[in-house]
Structure 1
């Protein structure tokens, strides 16, 4: 019996920015396999390539080289427009700075991506998702009328409403106090469990990382260690 296809499969993934005369190597040959339903924490110092790797894996940035399959799609072969289309419905993203549209209500912020993807029931699904994250009473509020924790709840609802195969979270508690951050982490993992999505989290918080089934540490654009929680054994990469 063959194993099902992984949600993410990257081989010798590279990202080089800058100019031809002064190239800057950001990712230096990433090999990564992430199975469906895994929860993965990405750790590493500033400049190690964490956010760049997430940008490439989520289709926000195109890799310079290597192969990359994400949720059954060949991301390495796609241009920007094709990547944007491939992300819809497949990938949800939660960012530290929330990135809600200030002129839209909470419900509109959640519904709009689904409407752009052609979903006919976007509004009722947005309402249901906001109710699921405890914001059924804030549907018509604008971001500036919401606390930081409430804004991040809207962002989580937006990321999970379309039931994506993959959820990426980049420092999701970075702009929140400790108590609110704990609530957001619990909510993020609860929504992930309910939807069955694969979750990748960039974090500097060791407690958040320990909640993931796997911890990957990056250093200088490469995977330095890859530890699975169920074995506790770390595999060092050269």
Structure 2
């Protein structure tokens, strides 16, 4: 049974894609414990398995083998519908490409996932979260009317508004200039601190990794190092 102090536990986690004749091992036996409230950076070169690991840990991809418990839910025992239900309200995801719905306003992009989860106060919570990320004056704007940095702020608001136990961020500054990227990281770390969520950031930026409490490094589908780092920076 998973300790209540742990946000997730993985044992011998594997992911194999491709055909039976030409299987491709993406994850090759991941053992990992992440404590509740921990801020973790995941480093590694392109093709090392970082994004695939995040997809499995967040329930977007099913593992091929091993065991995985996330926010108290046994992911390895769940089907697709069960994984979707387990993610709802427990998992927040921030991606490099924002993934906002272009036909919806900022407020609607934040509120809609909560409405689908049955929240009756989704609109009010969405507005409050947009105000918290500095976009109280942009709630009625559509994604095309927002800068890249503003769109990522909306994505962060969407991820944090349901108060998930875990937030996964995959290269959240990848489409932004350096200055805007630093602002987004400050904001993401600040919102995590205020909500108490566990945060896993996939990044190639070692300076960002040093602002996290713990740094995992991947290569060839396995974790090759796991070190504690002294958190630094304005929001860390």
Q: TM-score if structure 2 supplies the norm length?
A: 0.96
C-alpha offsets along residues 175-227 of structure 1, whole Å, 9 cap, x if unaligned?
00011001000000000000000000000111111110000000100000000
Residue number in structure 2 paired with 1:123: 123
Distance 1:207 1:180 in 2: 15
Distance 1:164 1:114 in 2: 11
Residue number in structure 1 paired with 2:42: 42
Distance 1:21 1:77 in 2: 27
Matching of residue 151 in structure 1 with residue 151 in structure 2: yes
Distance 1:223 1:156 in 2: 27
Distance 2:75 2:5 in 1: 15
1:26 aligned counterpart, secondary structure: strand
Shift, 1:81, TM fit:
1.1
Residue number in structure 2 paired with 1:195: 195
Residue number in structure 1 paired with 2:234: none
Distance 2:212 2:57 in 1: 18
Distance 1:140 1:229 in 2: 40
Q: Equivalences for 1:69-218 in 2 at 5 Å?
A: 69-218=69-218
Give runs of ≥4 in structure 1 deviating > 6 Å. Answer: none
C-alpha offsets along residues 52-73 of structure 1, whole Å, 9 cap, x if unaligned?
0000000000000000000000
Shift, 1:80, TM fit:
1.1
Shift, 1:4, TM fit:
3.2
C-alpha offsets along residues 3-48 of structure 1, whole Å, 9 cap, x if unaligned?
6341010000000000111100000000000000000000001110
CA RMSD after TM alignment = 1.3
Residue number in structure 2 paired with 1:234: none
Shift, 1:131, TM fit:
0.3
Q: TM-score if structure 1 supplies the norm length?
A: 0.95
Task: Give the conservation status (yes or no) of the 8 Å contact 2:26–2:221.
Answer: yes
Shift, 1:135, TM fit:
0.2
Residue number in structure 2 paired with 1:30: 30
Distance 1:30 1:134, change over 3 A: same
Shift, 1:229, TM fit:
1.4
Unmatched tracts of structure 1, length 5 or more: 232-238
1:138 aligned counterpart, secondary structure: coil
Shift, 1:230, TM fit:
4.8
Residue number in structure 2 paired with 1:60: 60
Residue number in structure 2 paired with 1:235: none
1:113 aligned counterpart, secondary structure: helix
Distance 2:230 2:146 in 1: 39
Distance 1:134 1:189 in 2: 14
